[in-house]
A and B are shown apart, each in its own frame.
Chain A
Amino acid sequence: MAIISLKNVSKIYRTAAGEQLAALDNVNLEIEEGEFVAVVGESGSGKTTLLNMIGGLDQPTEGSVLVDSHDITSAGDRELSLFRNRSIGFIFQSFHLQPLQTALANVMVPLLFADASWPEARKKSETSLGLVGLADKVNQRANQLSAGQCQRVAIARAIINSPRILLADEPTGNLDVHTGTDIINLLKQINMEQKTTVLLVTHERDVASQAQRMITIKEGLIISDAAIKAEGDENKQ
């Protein structure tokens, strides 16, 4: 059963000159629970807009976005916020951490909106940081961490509420190849172990090829949507 379903979704921006620009044009898409999907495309093709629609950060101009059979396009602010807090984990290219805060304090933020108690929040944050391999960096400030470690903290923050969907927007964009590979492996691990649906936006084909399914977007249209055969599968054949 599809956990994410986009039906005839369009997003039209109005430029400063008054022209209409379609970031997404009548997109139809279904993603099954537990899938690891990569969305590729050039800059400005509509990848991030697609991600924001699914995450409830942005509203489509037309069409509907169903997550777990619930139409989030008709949800109010409070309902959407609760949805983002409980069901969605966001990972961004530029991490968006508070530089003067510790890794623990950064990871804890979603729990503040879930009304968790302080001891519970601390315990869950430490566990989450342990899952991403940063158990020894709990009290380190974000500005004292490397880029790879920062992205791990961001991932720990994204998974702290055990969301059903992880939305990663260019998570390796600011990382070197080696660190980027580590991060993708971490996302794959989360996908495998926690059965979390992962939607990865990237413009790097190498990174996208790590997913189970690749969707290519161009000028707001899905131009291809295909499963990726794993290396092991090819060898078997």
Chain B
Amino acid sequence: MKTSNRLMLACEGVMTKKVRTFMLGIGVSVGTAALIFLVSLIFGAKAYVDEKVGGIRENLLNVGIKPPPPHNPQPLDDSAYRQLLQIKGETGEVVDVYRELPIAPRPYIKVKNQPANNWLKVVSVDEGLYQNNPDNPIPDFKYRHVEPVDESEITFPEADETEATEEEKDTNFIPVIVPNVFVEALTSFAGDERKSLKQFFDILQGQEPFYVLVQGKGYRCKVVAVDNTVSSWSIAVPFRYGEEWNRHQGEQFPDYKWPNYDRFVVEATDIKHLDDIKEKIAAAGYQPQPTEAQEIGIAVSRGAMYLFLLAVTFCLVIALVSAIGIFNGLSISIMEQAPRIGILRSVGATRTDISSIYLFEAAIIGIVGGIIGLVAAHLLMWGSDIALKDFLSDVTNIRDIQTLFVWSLPEAFYIRTGAVGLGVITSLLAGVGPAYRASCLNPAVVLREG
């Protein structure tokens, strides 16, 4: 028997019980819609976070002090710096090594209308780390001489008092880089904090200066970039300031034991060599670690994977319930249609023909349910996207979300076809038992009883 004829008889069977087919398809629709909705949301939200976290420079590696015991800690000093550069020379796999120097004692930071405080750590970093970033080079991050003012003479002119043209010409500031997670943390505040949030935004966007106070002197600073290589709750200035400021502090505190570098950042030519480089750094007595941005990326990926597994589990439960429904529905249908099966057998249907016809019926239920689910998922995502964006905009001040769902190809295509395919497969699997039972019916018996 031709497949098209089997399909025609299956359609005939489905059309004789439209309501039941629709009700069975609803189960598949719910599962399909839920799967598309949840997976699109998880991956869409992850894509947004990834974008905000920025191009994570995966070829970077932090190098810190190896914790004792049993290891003897190697200080992160100039000899360590040279040693790491030599590793670069030996392997040919390391592009460069950047130093991060903490400024100690921790300087105070003075922001307009706020008391000075030292809750942010100030570090100085080799400029090359940012200037050599292929994805986001920051050429402004370089040393320039800035004349400090006495702490008592620090003023913050009102925004409207500063001419735009003068603002554009303004070069009398130290460039500062802050971490983007820091921005995200700040932007998540809301409510009564809006006014101060506005000020934070202005600072972060380099529109409002602030001062770093070292030895009673205020250095005018502006944020020039947000970058993921800067540690949380830190701000980074060009390396030479760290050397200068620590020298000034040294004059004040001659007996103070000055810290070594906070960390080194090793840049590899290729992410594929990182493991090899890690081993060599560890063998030299240091502690290789992923960068904070990489850890955030890993955490986001891991979180997304857990949510994905949760969504898949949820959808599998729906699929199981749907499968049970389809199994029962088809079983009842076969009992009701037993005389039809008998007549088909009497006019020449083989057992294979009968089972194929009922498998086609199951597939039709799956396809119809899947398509309904697909349409429902799109409507749901469209509505939810608007609602979620409004909600997040209201409660968090995040206003730059394009979408929280996956709409772009080819990912959207894979998610949707995968979900519809799962619905069809579920239906088919649920239909195997009833289809087999239908093929095993004795035509003589069902014709007599029908």
Report which A residues bind B (CB closer than 8 A): 48-49, 52, 55, 57-58, 77-78, 81-82, 84-86, 88, 90, 92, 94, 96, 98, 100-101, 105, 109-110, 112-115, 157
Known: A84-B346, A110-B348, A112-B8. A98 touches B1 (CB 8 A): no
Given A48-B448, A94-B450, A112-B9: A100 touches B15 (CB 8 Å cut-off): yes
Can you report 30 residue pairs joining A to B where beta carbons are below 8 Å apart? A52-B444, A55-B346, A57-B346, A57-B444, A58-B443, A77-B352, A78-B352, A81-B349, A81-B350, A81-B353, A84-B346, A84-B347, A86-B348, A90-B343, A90-B346, A96-B340, A96-B450, A98-B12, A100-B15, A100-B16, A101-B12, A109-B9, A109-B344, A110-B348, A112-B5, A112-B9, A113-B1, A113-B347, A113-B349, A115-B2
The 7 closest A-B pairs by CB, nearest first: A85-B348, A113-B348, A110-B347, A58-B444, A112-B5, A52-B444, A57-B444
State the CA gap A119–B350 with chains docked (Å): 24
Which has the most chain A C-beta neighbours within 10 Å: B5, B16, B352, B443? Answer: B5
Are B351 and A109 interface neighbours, CB within 8 A? Answer: no
For residue B345, CB closer than 8 A to chain A, the reply is: yes
Q: Which among B12, B348, B447 is the interface contact of A84 at CB below 8 angstroms?
A: B348
Residues of B in contact, count (CB < 8 Å) = 28
Chain A residues near B443: list those with CB within 8 A: 57-58
Q: How far is the CB of A52 from chain B (nearest CB, A)?
A: 4
Look across to chain A and name the residue whose beta carbon is closest to the beta carbon of B2: A115
Asked if residues B347 and A157 are in contact (CB atoms below 8 Å), the reply is yes
The residue on B at minimum CB distance from A11 is: B444
A185 vs chain B, min Cβ distance (A): 24
B444 CB contacts on chain A under 8 angstroms: 48-49, 52, 57-58
Residues of B within 8 A of A109 (CB): 9, 343-344, 347
Q: Is the CB of A96 within 8 A of B342?
A: yes
In the assembled complex, which residues on chain A have CB atoms less than 8 Å from the CB atom of B343?
A: 90, 92, 96, 109
Contacts of A81 in B (CB 8 A): 345, 348-350, 353
Q: State in angstroms the CA–CA spacing of A127 and B91 once bound together.
A: 88
Docked complex Cα distance between A52 and B445 (Å) = 10
5 other A-B residue contacts (CB within 8 Å) besides A92-B447, A96-B450: A57-B443, A100-B15, A105-B12, A109-B343, A115-B5
Q: How far is the CA of A113 from the CA of B347 in the complex (A)?
A: 8
**Contact digits for B170-213, partner A, Cβ 8 Å, 1 yes 0 no:** 00000000000000000000000000000000000000000000
A96 to B8 alpha-carbon distance, docked (Å): 19
> Given known contacts A96-B450, A115-B2, is B12 in contact with A57 (CB within 8 Å)?
no
Return the chain A residue nearest B342 by Cβ: A96
Query: Of A77, A86, A96, A115, which is within 8 A of B350 by CB?
Result: A77
Q: Is B393 an interface residue (CB 8 A)?
A: no
Q: CB of B242 within 8 A of chain A?
A: no
Chain B residues in 8 Å Cβ range of A57: 345-346, 443-444, 447
B297 at the interface (CB under 8 A from A): no
For B347, what are the chain A residues with a Cβ–Cβ distance below 8 Å? 84-85, 90, 109-110, 113, 157
Partner of B1 from the list A58, A77, A88, A115 (CB cut-off 8 Å) is: A115
Residues 431-444 of B, flagged 1 when their CB comes within 8 A of A and 0 if not, give 00000000000111
Closest CB of chain A to B445's CB: distance in Å?
8
Chain B residues with CB under 8 Å of A77's CB are 350-352
A113-B5 contact in complex given A96-B339, A98-B340, C-beta closer than 8 Å: yes
The residue in chain A whose Cβ has the minimal distance to the Cβ of B353 is A113
Contact partners of A52 in chain B: CB under 8 A = 444
Given contacts A57-B443, A96-B342, A98-B12, contact A114 B348 (CB under 8 A): yes
Complex contacts, B5 vs chain A, CB 8 Å:
112-113, 115
Docked Cα-Cα span, A48 to B346, in Å, equals 14
Q: How far is the CB of A86 from chain B (nearest CB, A)?
A: 8
- In the bound assembly, the distance between CA atoms of A129 and B1 in angstroms comes to 23
Docked CA distance A181–B450 (Å): 25
